[in-house]
Amino acid sequence: MALYEYKCADCDERFDLMRSMGASDEPAECPECGSVESRRLISSFTSITPGASALSTNPMMDARMASGGGGGGCCGGACGCG
């Protein structure tokens, strides 16, 4: 099952439906007006992953990296060597 976003051609309402991939292009009934004249939209999403690009925008990641990874193990400050 996947979450798909649709836009009604009659009333311009945007809505989401959880459907199987095989049913993604089947007519979807608009919850606002009941029309089945809708089109599936291309949805975008955001992902944050640890890495060089995340350091400048993620204060929590900056703090972890500054403390040696923040894992609490050796050289993370927990053993007194760091």
For residues 38-44, average pLDDT: 89
Q: Convert the pLDDT of each residue in 3-39 to its tens digit.
A: 999 999 999 999 999 999 999 999 999 999 999 999 9
State the CATH number of the domain containing residue 18.
2.20.28
6 pairs with which residues across the strands?
15, 40
The reported pTM is 0.53
| 41's tokens | 């939209």
What is the rounded distance in angstroms from the CA atom of residue 47 to the CA atom of residue 53? 11
Residue 25 lies inside a defined structural domain of this protein: yes
Q: List the domain range (segments joined by +) for residue 7.
A: 2-40
For residues 38-46, average pLDDT: 86
**What pLDDT does 13 receive?**
97
Residue 17 lies inside a defined structural domain of this protein: yes
Query: Across all residues in the chain, what is the average pLDDT?
Result: 78
Residue 13 lies inside a defined structural domain of this protein: yes
What's the Cα-to-Cα distance from 32 to each of 8, 11, 12, 60, rounded to whole Å? Answer: 9, 8, 9, 41
Q: In total, how many domains does the chain have?
A: 1
Whether pLDDT at 64 is above 70: no
